[in-house]
Structure 1
Amino acid sequence: MTSPPWTPETRLLWQRISNHPLQGDQRLDFLKRLCREQRWTTAYGSQVIEEYKRFVFLSCVTSSSLTPSIDIDETWHLHLTYTEDYWLTFCPQVLERPLHHRPTTGSAADGQKFREQYAQTLQIYFAWFGPPDRVIWPSSKQRFDRPARMQRINRDQFWIVRKPWIRNSI
């Protein structure tokens, strides 16, 4: 893949995205809430927000459908809950277009589609920004080879104890 053109338009778009504070409602700081909900350090949360902004930029400058990493997807989910910022400021004024989140249906076909889109996302990322951070942007195998049944839980109310893995000797 050849290096993409940084035109005056793409530079201006990146500047608008990069400068957007992701604050929304001042009563609940976005970064603090993200870190609290994900149990991330402030430093890591700040890195993920920067990568989320790169993902959003790539979504705007390519005609391909892109798939984010899990941490970036969690950041996007939270940003979507800041509806006034997302739909009244970020999309129309910063991106100058809507950016919809299209989750999986859970089908095997969707799984394959999103795996392929994620691999393409990593290639497009590399073309624009160089090698991605492998903690935030793991390989396709790491991104998709995870438990199929994930759900959100309140860690303040429940303990999480990993089930032991027992090799089937039969």
Structure 2
Amino acid sequence: METKLILQNDPLWKRLQNFSLDHPNAAFPFSKKLAKEENWTERFTAKAIEEYKKFVYLCCTLPNGASPSEIVDKVWHMHLIYTRNYWEKFCPEILQRTLHHHPSNGGQKENEKHKTWFNETLKSYREIFQQEPPQEIWKPDLKPSNRKNKSYFGKIVLLVLCAFFIYSCSENNNSGLGIFFTVIFSFVILVLLIKVFSNNKGSDKNNTDSGGDGTFFYTCGSDGSSGDGGSSSCSSSCGGGCGGCGGGD
């Protein structure tokens, strides 16, 4: 109860909670773009943004910074694309400090270091927010199950049934009507196959953004604090395509 009261009275926490990543006049705001890019549901997107704010709070308050999960980092990456909002409003007005995202040098040593930091982040999360980190957002080896197209099993079954139907028509009915239905169902199958493979391609891209191992470990510091206890920047362990954050250059 005391911890929650401290949070409620913390000016930084208040500013983060009152800050919206969606511009009020935008026809296609941040949350909708994020949901579309990642193929997330609206509910899951809102939850991811909420956890992103908690991560940023940890970044700014913990002496060793914080380490985001894969999902949280995707929100952060998207926010960084909105450069004017991030650098001209979010950092100076809401955080009142800079919060940078840097690439990693990679390697097993950094990987182990960031795993430790990630576990420390989860521990601090429990202590500060007095709750368990939502697994669908924070569990590093858990792929998001809240995509709009969750499974292709039904589509595969449908394709098999359609193929069997077409085979039956072609074998048992050589009339014009049978040929007509065969052509129609062939076209439907072709369209479904294109959609399935295009969606799978997008999912594979999301699953390989980590640099190949599917796990994400980052560290974050603010205004001179970082995971290594002294430098003004920090990094991730997932290869050159990922990054951590640091503050005050």
Q: TM-score, normalised by structure 2?
A: 0.53
2:37 matched residue in structure 1:
37
> What secondary structure sits across from 2:198 in the alignment?
coil
Higher-Rg member (1/2) = 2
Contact 1:59 1:66 in 2 (8 A): yes
Q: Which amino acid aligns with 1:74?
A: K
Query: Is 1:122 aligned with 2:122?
Result: yes
> 1:72-102 CA distances to partner (integer Å, 9 max, x unpaired)?
0000000000000100000000000011123
- Inter-partner Cα distance in structure 2 for 1:65 and 1:92: 18
Residue 93 of structure 2 is matched in structure 1 by: 93
Query: Following superposition, which runs of at least 4 residues in structure 1 exceed 6 angstroms of deviation?
Result: none
Alignment gaps of 5+ in structure 1: 144-154, 163-170
Q: How far did 1:157 drift?
A: 8.0
Letter in 2 for 1:97: R
Q: Identify which of structures 1 and 2 has the higher relative contact order when contacts are C-alpha pairs closer than 8 Å and 6+ apart.
A: 2
Report if aligned partners of 2:125, 2:133 keep a CA contact under 8 Å in 1: yes
* Unaligned segments of structure 2, at least 5 residues: 143-194, 204-249
The aligned residue for residue 137 of structure 1 is 138
What aligned pairs does 1:70-85 form with structure 2 within 5 A after superposition? 70-85=70-85
Change (3 A) 1:16 1:111: same
Return the offset for 1:123. 0.7
Deviation at 1:114, TM superposition (A): 1.5
Q: Is the 8 A contact 1:23 1:85 kept in 2?
A: no
The aligned amino acid for 1:122 is L
Q: C-alpha displacement at 1:112, in angstroms?
A: 1.2
Deviations 1:100-126 (A, max 9, x none): 123433321221122111111101111
Moved more, 34-43 or 109-118: 109-118
1:26 to 1:55, Cα distance in 2 relative to 1, 3 A = same
Per the alignment, residue 15 of structure 1 pairs with 14
User: Given residue 11 of structure 1, which amino acid in structure 2 is its aligned partner?
Assistant: D
Secondary structure of the residue aligned to 2:26 is: coil
d(CA) in 1 for partners of 2:122 and 2:102?
18
Counterpart of 2:114, as a letter, is: F
Aligned equivalent of 2:64: 64
Q: How far apart, in 1, do the equivalents of 2:102 and 2:4 lie?
A: 26
2:200 to 148, 160, 166: 160
Q: Secondary structure of 1:102's match?
A: strand
Number of residue pairs aligned between Structure 1 and Structure 2:
147
CA contact (8 A) 2:13 2:57 kept: yes
Which residue type is aligned with residue 40 of structure 1? Answer: W
**Aligned residues with identical type, % of pairs:** 34
Instruction: Say if 2:86 is the partner of 1:49.
Output: no
Please say if residues 7 and 13 of structure 2, whose CA atoms lie closer than 8 Å, have aligned partners that are also in contact: no
Cα distance between partner residues in 2 of 1:156 and 1:99: 39
Distance in structure 1 (CA, Å) of the matches to 2:114 and 2:4: 23
Distance 1:157 1:23, change over 3 A: farther
TM-score by length of 1: 0.76
Deviation at 1:4, TM superposition (A): 9.2
RMSD between superposed Cα atoms in Å: 2.8
